[in-house]
Each structure stands twice: as structure tokens, then as C-alpha cells.
Structure 1
Amino acid sequence: MTATVQALDELPGVLEQLGDDQEADLVGVLLRLQERAAQVATVATANALDRGVLLTSNAANATQWVTGCAARAGTSIEPSAATTISVVAQACRDRRNHVIASAVRDGSCTLATARTALRQTAKVAEVLPTAAREDIQAWFLQLDPGLGSRGVTELTRRIIAKYAADKLSAEDAHLEKVESLTWRTLPTGMIRLIADLCPANAAILKQAVTALSAPRPAHEDGAPAGSASTSTGASDDEGDAGETSDGDAARRDGDVAGHGVAGAAFGLHEQQQRPETVRDERTPGKRRVDALMDLVSAGAKVASGDGMGIGAGATVLVTMDLHRLLGDLDGAVTIGGEILDAGTARRLACDADLIPMVLGGKSQPLDVGREKRLVTKGMRAAVVYRDKGCTFPGCDRPPGFCEVHHVLPWWAGGSTALDNSAMLCRRHHQIVHRHGYTATVTSDGVHWDLTEGAMPGWRADKVA
């Protein structure tokens, strides 16, 4: 075994002599050796405990003894790894766990799976009192080894859900009480979020993030050199990519779950070539972060009263006065574009956020001039009604994920008015300010000029 360690120490210096296939074989052997060594170390620890070596050592428990063994060998071991070895070793001394002990001894069960199976055996035994302990452990070991400890946990929950649903509910209720969310600053300056969620809340979060984090290819048109046309996610200076799942042009229909981040800048030119698909180059982790930030941004807006929401109660924009709502109402429109009949509109008025909006009338102040920098709720409703979502070329983000942008910036003298407002998703809002794009707002929508630095006052602000 000492010679094996010496050979491992020599390997890094001769790796360049290996061919591709040889390196793949080597990595496979090393990974097998790593897991097998941990298994044999566990068996050896169990034997040592049986012989009473712990009593003659200075270690307070088996974990400390394992850690001390590593230190005497001139190496170190992660505390979690030492704990796993000691826990499994002690469990293998119990004859009731002979199935797990045999699997560890012959190398057919990883230590992580063994530890999880030992923990979950008691839970299954409580709901299946007639099942033998060895049979339960055998069920766990019959799972696909590729599923690992996750497969063992899922099988346990399935069994409990089938034979003791009330127990599963009580267990999840307890888990929900001890949920936590913390964060800490890493040496790199990044902030690491650490969340412990119960299965139900974790499922909600994962579903919401997954629905918005799929890679979305963009269409990059053949604009002449010098126009704004970027691939998605390759750097901080590039936008998100977006396309509907069936390959058609993205529609701004408010379907949050069906359409993800839409993206790259389209040059506005009279002569356009056939669009070319540009791959979304964001990593999966980055896509999930973007999706989470979109969800948080939308939720923060709703909580502060500035947003329209993305999936809770509908916000009805009624393009008529309130008296018509109470009297001869003939319909209403939601932010998603759905046409509602009068009865449905009145029903939503009971539990949804209903905004009576008369464009250009006195129902809401649509132009607050220079008195307020941020848009009012009424003005945002008017911008939503006009823009239907992000106005950046090629983007299909719905209103719930958008912010109201001052086309002529506030610092450059721009007013908070309907004709100076444009809806932009968070990503494209960043891009517009980063590159200094500007737009022209007309009664039929927002028309973007993707010339870098065209935004009034942009260069001075960038220098500042």
C-alpha cells in the first residue's frame, strides 16, 4: 500500500506521456481506487473498534480517531468524510446491519449511499413494522448505483407517502419550521447564498427557476459592421437570448413559464439579411442566477406596490372609467392580453388588483413632469398597456419582469411622462444604460436606436 501511494505521488510528473485513452483509463482507476480505499478504511475502522483500539488512544470518539490516523500518515481528511467513515464503521458492527456491512466490504455500495441507507432504514421500519430490517436495506441496495444517496431518500419518501401519508406530512411540517436562508462573503468578493428548504418549497423554487433558465437562442441579423449585434451571455456586455420553444418568432404573450430570457440586440436597418441563430453561451449556473434574480425583482416590485405580479392575482387594466365597470361594462383586459367578459371582470374586482384606466383622462395622472422621478402605479399601468412587455428588439419578457425606463434620462433633464417611458426587462435595462442606446416613443410603441452613445448625457454620465 505504501508503494501504491508512492506511485500516485509520481503520476503528476509523467501525465504528459499518456495518450487520451490512457488518461481516461487512469482517471477511472484513480476514482475506483479513491472510493475503494474509503470503503476498506471503513472496514478497517470497524475492526479497530471491535478490538478496542479507541480505548487505548487519546481520541474522544471514532471520528477523532480516523482524523488522527490521517494526521499520522502525513495527510488530512475532511471532517465530513471522517464522520462518514466512523458512522458507517460503527453501524457495520451491528449485526442487524449485515446487509450494508457486506456491501461496503465487497465494494458494491458507496459510503454516502451506505450512510443514507442506514439513516433511512429506521424511517421505513416505522411505517412497515412487518418488514425485516435486512429486507429494507436490500431494497435500497437494489437501486441504480448512479442514483446514489438521493435515490435512497426518494425511495424512502415514496414508501412513507404510500403507507403513512400523515407521517410524511408531519415530517415535512417539521422541516418547514427549521428552514433557513443565510449568506456569507467569499474571499473572491462573491456572496454565497445557503438555503435549507423543505421538499415542497424547494420544489416550488426549482420549478420556477427551471422554467425561466432554459437556454434561449437569439436571432442575430446581418446588420452592417458597427451596428449593435451581440451573442448572448458571452460577456457582461451582451444581452440575453430568447426564442419560443417551437422555433417561431417569440411572441409577447405574457407566458412567463413558456418563454425565457430573450435577447440579443437587433440592428434596426432597412436592409436586413436572413437572421442567424446565436447560441446562448451562459452556463447553466448563470442561467439559474438570472432566472432567480428575475423572480426576486418581480416579487420585490409587487411587494412595494410598483409591480404587476407574475402569477398571483390578476391585475386588470380597464380602459374605461370606473362608472362603466359598475354599470354597462362590456369587457376588460389583463396584462397578459386576455379578454375578459363583464362577469369575470367584476369577479376579479373582488380579489384582484383592478386599475380603472382612462388614457389621457383624469382617472390617473399619466404625466407627473419633474415632480417625481419614479413612475406612479397609474403611469406604469399605462406603459404596460401600450408596450405589453420589454420593448428591446427581439425580447419577449412579459410586464411582470420589466422596469420602466426613462428614454431621456432623469439626470439629462428627462421627465417622468408616458411619452418618455419604455418597458425594459432587467437585463436589457442594464444593456441600454451600458451602451447608451436611445429610443423614440410614439403612440404606437417604442422604436430603438441601437447606436452606442446616442443616449443624451450618456458619455458624461459614463465618465462620471
Structure 2
Amino acid sequence: MGDELLAEARAVEHVERAEAAWWAAVMDEVEESLREVLQQASQSPLPAQVLEAGLVTARRGMAQARAAVQDRARLLEDDLRGGLTRLGELSLATGAALFALALEASARGLPGQSGFGVVDWLAQRCPWLSRSELGDMDAVVRAARSGLNIPLVEAVAQGRTPARRGAVVARALAKLSPVLDPEGYEAFVKIFVDAACDPAITDAVLHEIIETAIKALLDEKDKQRREKLAHEARSFTSRRLANGLTRFTIDAPEADAAVLNGIVTSKLAAPASTDDAPDLRSATQRRYDAFRSVLGRGTTCPTGTPTMPRATLVITMRLSDLLGQTRGAGLTTTGEVLSAGQVRRLACEAELVPAVLGTESEILDVGREHRLATPAQVRALRLRDKGCTFPGCTVPPEWCIAHHTIWWSRGGATDMDTLALLCERHHTHVHQHDLEAEINGSHVTWHV
């Protein structure tokens, strides 16, 4: 019995030693694997580690540079020039890194998770950047949504051009995208990006290059194409200033610009001096007051139907051009050149005072401004038409204008059976395509 117990104990010990050896071998392998992982990590650090290390190095370098600048009296002129050049390059690199992070944050939807746009979200994390700088960054981030803008996005992300100049390109491309095919759009992307990345081209010259390119595009298209491009490029933007003001920037097509100029050059903008109280307003202040006065009359009319015309224009053109018998242009007193079609469209909505010339440029007629629908007629049209009469349009009557189905320039009368409500967009469409309509009682039928 003793020998059997001894043999069994030795067998158990042997098994335990084998298991211990196996476990030790496994742990050695795990340790070796961990050592390899750590070694690889030390050789290829994580992106976050690289980012933090780079920023720490940059901060240390800037601290050293500031210390050297404190003793700037000992710096030579070449040192000053070189320092400024390298600081400029560093600023460009910093802006590129900032844009790259903003682009990634936007792609992941981080601003939207907290209910902010890109500008406000960045402002919380980069309070030292101005709203203008943040807006430029946002403009390029928005451009990144289109694959056709990859060259622009890469140029800013790689530090080949600052976000400021990239935003100029992005905003110009946004205006051109609706009217260009992909091939033509890519050509303009290359032209604009190459110019933005050229350090020899100043900001002013960059703006000039872009405006020249757009003008060249306009000139090579027909009249309708030009008007469409100008219409697509219209914009109205605002930016809060630090002094309690808001700056509005308007890009208006020619016809609309003529109306706006008609407001700010009207009698409302003239000095209102009296014998007792001279008008101390500047010219720009008077123009603002004129614009605000017209805007106020249109938005505060208690009956919903302003009794004043929308604008007053004096346009000089030949009678044959106005009637559409020939192709010509009209000239406003403020210098805008309008096509005959634009003049005929404005005749429906502005207090147009045409100075009509004969074949020998003699003045045939100055006047005929009393042709706008009366407030009573407008109210009746709103009840009858109940909105824009163009097929399929749902714009309510309050946002429509009274259109002469037989154009006023062609001798049409301002009567209920020749008037129909149209929204701004379809009013332009009707004039561009010379569409006709029939009015039968309370029903308007357009021949489209």
C-alpha cells in the first residue's frame, strides 16, 4: 500500500511540474508580445501623441522666440526679416492645422451634437479668433461638402494658402456652381486655387482675378444666360460688428441694383435742411435713412397694401426697344445699363418714368407713370387670385405683385381683366419667356 501511495504522489507531482512549465512558457510568450507592442508604440506613436508633442514643441519654440524678441535691440536687420518670414510660415502652418481639425470636427458632426454651427462651436474653443476669421474657416468647411472642391480644401489643409484666401475662392465658386457644368466648374476651381496659392498675388489682386474671370464668363454667354447667372449669384449677408452695428452686404442683379440705386438717390436721400436746422447727416447716413424709410413704408402699412410705388426710375431708351421691336438697352440716371426685357419687367413693379426717344434721339414722351394697380385693385386681386397665378405655385397673395397680362409697355391697361398676381420668381420667368395669359372671370390661364 505504501509503494502505491508513493507512486501516485510522484505522478501527481510530475503532472503539476508539467503544468507549471507550460504556464511559465505561456507567460513568457505574453511578456514577449507585450514588449513588442510597447516597442512598436514607442516607434509609431498614436496621432494624438504626435499632435500633443508637436504643439508642446511649438509652444516651447515660441517661448524661446518671444524671449529673443524681448532683446530685439541686438537683432540685426536680416534677423528681423528672417524672423518675420518664418513667423509668417508658422502662422500659415498653424492655420492649416486649425482648419484640418475644424474640418474633421464638422465631418463627425460635433458642432451639431451641441446644437451649434461651425462658427459658434469654434468660437467657444478658439475665442481669440475673430468672427471674420471663423466665418472664413466655415466657408471652406462648407466647400468641402462637394467633391469638386477637393483641390481647394487640400490647399488650405496643407498650408499652401490661408483660410482667408480660401474663403474668397469658396464664396466665388458657390456663386458659379449653379450655372456651370462639372467640367467648367473644375476649370474655375483650378484657376482660383492656383491664384490663391501664389504668394506673389496680393489679396486685392486675387479679388480682381476672380471678378475678371466671372466677368469673362458673363461676356461669353447670351443675355438670358447672363441674367440667370446674375440671379443665381444674388446674395444678402450680414455680420455683427463690435460697435453695436450690423454690416449688410448685398450682391444684386442689374435690374434690382437699379431699383436700390433709385431709392438711395431719390429725394428721400437729399439734405433736409431748413432755415432753423441744417441737415448735419453725412451722404451715407442720408442714403441709409432713405432706404430705411422705403423699407418701413412697405413693412408697416396697416392695410397690407402700400400706397407708394416700389421705386422710382428714370430710364432713357428708344421706343422701338421698349416695345420689343428691336434689341436695345435702357440707361438709368445712375448709370446702370438695363436690357429692354429688364425695363419691361420693372415697368410692372416700379414707378418707371421712361424718357422715350425717337429715331433721331428726340424726346417723344416723359411720363406715363400712372399705371400701377391701385390699392383697391390689389385687394380685389388678392381675393380673386388667392396667390400667384402661375401653374403649381403656392406663394401667398401678400408676396405677389400685380402683373399686366398685356404688358403696359405694349399698351396694356390697368384693368382687372388684364391684371394677375405673380410672385417675384414667376414674374421674372413670364417676362424672360414672353408668356401670355387669359383671364376669364375669376380664372387666370397661363400659356406655358
TM-score for both structures, normalised by structure 2: 0.36
Structure of greater Rg: 2
- Which of the pair is proportionally richer in helix? 2
Q: Greater relative contact order: 1 or 2 (C-alpha under 8 angstroms, separation 6 or more)?
A: 1
